[in-house]
Structure 1
Amino acid sequence: MSIETIQGYMDKALRRFEEHPAVTFMSTNETLTYRELRKEIDKIASFLVSLGVKKGSHVAYLIPNSMEFVLFSQAVARCGATSIPMGVKLGVREVAFILNDSDTDFVIMATEMHMKTVLKYVNDKKEQQQSVKVIGLAGFNLQYPEEFITISRQEIQKVENVSSFPDMSPEDISMISYTGGTTGMPKGVMHSQGGKAAALIASFIEFPMDDRDKVLLTTPLQHSAGSLMLRALAGGAHVYIDTFKADTFLKTVQEKRITVTFTVPTIIYRIIDKAKKMKFDVSSLRSIHYGSSPISSERLKEAIELFGPVFVQQYGATEANVLITRMHKFDHVRALETGAKFLQSCGKPCLMTQIRIIDDGGQDVKTYEKGEVILKSPYLMEGYYKRPDLTSEAIKDGWFYTGDIGQFDEEGFLYIVDRKKDMIISGGMNVYSVEVEKVVNQHPAVVMSACIGVPDPDWGELVTVFVVLHDGVKCSEEEMVEFCKARTSSYMVPKKVYFKENLPLTQIGKIDKKELKKDFWKDKERQIN
């Protein structure tokens, strides 16, 4: 089995640690050693082969954080099939789109809300004389339609092991991972076996850990947490899997002596608020990796007081295996001690990533000038599934065009200013929503905020912010506007402020601006004004 593939690396990794604990699922307290994990993966892979899964089959899965997610996702890879992971919080519309767009042959599921959608897909394919098999996982208290194959892990143990699984080559497609799609419909990002293998090597450089580490993952394993899971298992760490609740998170860190975790800023804020009310020992943590957005300076100070100097930020993209830049622990501490602006950056390029910032003519911009972030790495996507047109737009001469607007400072820190498509044009001026949010978030009453453009006959687009305040704290719209006027350009000052108890989040914890925009733009043909 080639070690130049993710299949080869993970097969070899799971044979290195044998009796060492590999995975614990907190809800059931079930633990599998590396030997047990490998044996169960091979057994499930044999079952999938018996159903007809083979090299090149497209296998989608809708499984919440669980032991089953670990086992079945790895079994799909073991078979040489192409994985299509889907978040269990995806809407039925998105799931229907992904199933059809990805030409899914097999579905593995453990969610109730998507049953009708998956069944419709099966029946639609049957009318086209195409067969789709659906496996409904037992143990999730769900009643699956009779068209599904309902089976438990215990029943799978009776399946006879196949003698061997197909060997993959570096060029074979390992995964089609659909973009989060905060604008428009998702795109299928194709990653090769070789690309995923290169990403695993890169993660060894960027995420130091070994067989003494205990890694807690509570965000969806379909996303960045899943990449960290593979890194942890490849290095012999003990992975603890749960769904997020602030008190249970802190309790697990204390009782299991967790050393590494991954999260997002909104979750960090909830942990801080809970820790203020209840005392926990979190001294075992040595690395908290976070991503999706910069962290508030004030809240980071609180977080470091609670956890110590253990924070590492990452900036990534589905198309680049989520490994683009890192801001390390030392830089977090240095920024807090000196008041340096680079705390609002996403760090510096990863060791295996090359980054440029270019203008509309394709020329590199100067320090502090804004432009589009483009990058190269050995683990870039192969392209968008069935969309050569979008692929040729996104990848030119080996460079991936991220669609993010960024700038470098004199030290080489990268700042993401906004998405190209998320820019607000108000009164003829370009307003970068992230910069407005940075100003609003400086207000001591603010927990978090989101800035969008709202169609307006006078301004074109009205700079509008949604604000969540600290419990028991009051702030008026007039006060917020005056606060911003004192700190930023007049054209960037919000024209309208809405106060909310909470903001809608995407399944990976980002503020869902598409949801915020929906009511304002629903009657518009275009999303610009």
Structure 2
Amino acid sequence: MERTTIQSLLLKGLKRFNDLPAITLLPSEETLTYKELFEKAGRISHYLLRLGVGRGSHVATLIPNSLEHVIFNLAIQQCGATLVPLSEKLGIREVDYILKESKPKVVIMATQSHVATILEYLEGAKDSDIRVIGLSGFNISYPDKFELFQWQEEKRDLDLPIASVEDIALLSYTGGTTGTPKGVMHSQEGLGAAILSAAIEDPLDDRDRLLLSTPIVHSAGSLLWRALISGVHVYIMRSFHAEHVMHAIKEYRITTTFMVPTMLYRLLDLTKKIDYDVSSMRNIYYGASPISQERLKEAFEVFGPIMRQQYGMTECNIVISRLSKSTHVWAYHNNQEILKSCGKPCILSEVRIIDDNGNDVRPFEFGEIIVKSPTIMVGYYKRPELTKKTIRDGWLYTGDIGMWDESGYLYIVDRKKDMIISGGMNVYSSEVERLVNQHPAVSLSACIGVPHPDWGEAVCVVISQREGFSCTEEEIIDFCRKSTSKYMVPKIVYFRDSLPLTPLGKVDKKEVKEMYAQGILTIK
């Protein structure tokens, strides 16, 4: 059997389900069957081939959640080209940087917020062959230098290039919450392995109805491709809105969805105000940031024993470890500490935790998580030195601090860059956040280190409160003092109506630190 590529998986997978519904856009209910999706993607792939797109070409996309997002991304994969997906929520600086570094041959866009950015890039680019394609139907006025895409009856007289396993299928840029965005290169074989690993870990089939309301350019995109090779009916929303999600679950008998903890919290809060029906649900995937244990127990009460956690990162395509539904249920009834873990390594992933000397740590000792898997990145684009530092002897050094328990469950303690050193003691910010989030008045929190003349850094938390609840700085400090070591207790507590979030729904600590630097945080 030939080695698997993402191109071959998608080509074979989509052909199997013909007239079954593949994609539905909400709320319009516009739907494509698998046959229609495959046919439309084929027409666009031949359109791209005529523009000179092929193996080795970079194609950047700036398309919000939509049918077009799915079709054009699939067409790029069919061409064997390298997809460079951009989020519409990226800043001007990030988009400009990514375009200048990746140098796409074609840019496909459907977002008004970056028309000026793309136009400036196009006018300043030395390569006159760059094409910018604007998609209609998004209420955007495109400049004359952009080409408006028009559907045509394309004659299929061009053979699709056959991608090799080593070809770069995806150039995905890190979120840029710290420093300059880094281009993460994934090979055709690596992405294929990631989809197969996810299919083994989390079986879905043509009886499932998957709702995606988070940006497809992030984790939801991996789940989308994994679903489409299995005949799943995928429902897509432009963006997350708690009331709309709850309505869709009831109306379309959704079985599966993915969300980050902040979204789950909003659904749980909503269920206290409205009548709801979630009886069709059988899977809720969550991940991307730590979850409050109290809110997780609430989710069990509302949705039932259907929670699945996944741990991954851009560099390893979301398949490092899983906390399965059955383990959630067992832990809920027998050992709720395990609910703090991110499960056990996935079927294609080998995971170690090592100390500063490269030795494996014992259970309950902290160290850096490293991963070996066919799904890890090839490297960072145009950054060979950083690649050598991050991938050593086939192991990806994640930068995450973790530990094992005695049963082999993996726990994420913190990111190395978010660790606070206060009075010579290592303070893991995510551990402080987990503790603070257990306070009944806390909706979200962010823990950062702030300069202190004696301790070097002081532990500081910034909190947004749950609707209808209130607390003070003294109450939060006292709550933490009763449950953790003295050096872990926050010295300063600030309050905000809401915390800044990244496009994926994580608390944006870079922005929180900037808020502190600007002096716009307040204490009650």
Counterpart amino acid of 2:394?
G
User: Match for residue 130 of structure 2?
Assistant: 132
Q: Does 1:182 align with 2:177?
A: yes
1:60 is the counterpart of 2:55: no
For the residues of structure 2 that align with 1:27 and 1:131, how far apart are their CA atoms? 38
| CA displacement 1:266-318 (0-9 Å, x = unmatched) | 00011111122111211111011111123212111211111110000000011
Q: Does 1:492 align with 2:488?
A: yes
Aligned equivalent of 1:105? 105
The answer (yes or no) to whether the contact 2:3–2:165 under 8 Å persists in 1 is: no
Change (3 A) 1:253 1:209: same
Q: Is the 8 A contact 1:455 1:520 kept in 2?
A: no
- Partner of 2:112, secondary structure, is coil
Looking at structure 2, the residues matched to 84 and 162 of structure 1 have their Cα atoms a distance apart, in angstroms, of 26
Q: Could you say what secondary structure the match of 2:396 adopts?
A: strand
- Could you tell me whether the CA contact under 8 Å between 1:47 and 1:156 is conserved in 2? no
Runs of 4+ in 1 over 6 A off after TM superposition: none
Root mean square deviation, CA, Å: 1.5
Query: What is the match of residue 510 of structure 1?
Result: 506
Structure 1 unmatched runs, 5+ = 524-529
Partners of 2:128 and 2:422 lie apart in 1 by 51
1:231-380 correspondence runs (5 A)? 231-242=226-237, 243-380=239-376
CA distance in 1, matches of 2:317, 2:198: 10
SS at match of 2:490: coil
Shift of 1:417: 0.7
Q: Is this contact kept in 2: 1:65–1:221, CA < 8 A?
A: yes
Contact 2:104/2:130 (8 A) holds in 1? yes
Distance 2:316 2:382 in 1: 18
Q: Quote the residue 1:527 is aligned against.
A: none
Partners of 1:457 and 1:131 lie apart in 2 by: 56
Which one-letter code corresponds to 1:470 in the other structure? Answer: R
The one of 415, 422, 441 aligned to 1:419: 415
| Partner of residue 22, structure 2 | 22
The sequence identity of aligned pairs, in percent, is 55
Quote the Cα distance in structure 1 between the aligned partners of 2:36 and 2:185: 31
Q: How many residues align?
A: 518
Distance 1:479 1:176 in 2: 46
Counterpart amino acid of 1:498? Answer: Y
Match of 1:202 in 2: 197
Q: Deviations over 1:443-493 (max 9, x none)?
A: 121122110011222321121101121222221111111111111111111
1:52 CA displacement: 2.1
What amino acid does structure 2 have at the position aligned with 1:77?
A: Q
1:387 equivalent among 364, 383, 386: 383
Separation in structure 2 between the aligned mates of residue 520 and residue 244 of structure 1, nearest angstrom: 28
1:13 aligns with 2:21: no
Alpha-carbon displacement from aligned partner over 1:316-342 (angstroms, at most 9, x marks no partner): 011111100100112222222234312
2:215 counterpart of 1:220: yes
CA shift for structure 1 position 403: 0.4
Separation (CA, whole Å) in 1 of partners of 2:220 and 2:157:
31
2:476 corresponds in structure 1 to 480
Q: CA distance change for structure 1 residues 2 and 98 in 2, over 3 Å: closer, same or farther?
A: farther
Letter in 2 for 1:99: L
3-state SS in 2 of match to 1:332: helix
Where structure 2 has 5 or more consecutive residues not aligned to the other structure, the ranges are: 520-524
- Report matched runs for 1:31-70 at 5 Å: 31-70=31-70
Name the amino acid aligned to 1:79.
Answer: C
Deviates more, 1:271-280 or 1:190-199: 271-280
Match of 2:148 in 1: 150
Preserved contact between residue 169 and residue 187 of structure 2 (Cα < 8 Å): yes
Change in 2 beyond 3 A, CA 1:377/1:52: same
* Contact persistence 2:61–2:85 (CA under 8 A): yes
Counterparts of 1:351 and 1:522, CA distance in 2: 46
**Aligned-partner SS, 1:277:** coil
2:70 is paired with a residue whose SS is helix
Taking the aligned partners of 1:456 and 1:118, their CA distance within structure 2 comes to 43
The whole-number CA distance in structure 1 between the counterparts of 2:487 and 2:388 is 36
Residue 123 of structure 1 pairs with residue 118 of structure 2:
no
Give the Cα separation in 2 of the matches to 1:266 and 1:474: 19
SS at match of 1:262: strand
In 1, Cα distance between equivalents of 2:30 and 2:435: 46
Mean CA deviation greater in 326-335 or 510-519: 326-335
Shift of 1:522: 7.4
Q: Compute the displacement of 1:427 (Å).
A: 1.7
**CA 178–129 in structure 1, closer or farther in 2 if over 3 Å, else same:** closer
Further displaced range: 48-57 or 383-392: 48-57
Instruction: Confirm or deny: 8 A CA contact 2:3 2:189 kept in the other structure.
Output: no
Contact map agreement 1:215 1:240 (CA 8 A) in 2 = yes
| Distance in 2 between residues matched to 1:522 and 1:456, nearest whole Å | 17
SS at match of 1:114: helix
On the 8 A contact 2:19/2:34 being kept in 1, the answer is yes
* 1:13-61 residue CA offsets vs partner (Å, 9 max, x unmatched): 1110111111111132111111111100001111112222222110010
Query: Residue 451 of structure 1 aligns to which amino acid in structure 2?
Result: C
Residue of structure 1 in register with 2:406 after alignment: 410
Deviates more, 1:180-189 or 1:401-410: 180-189
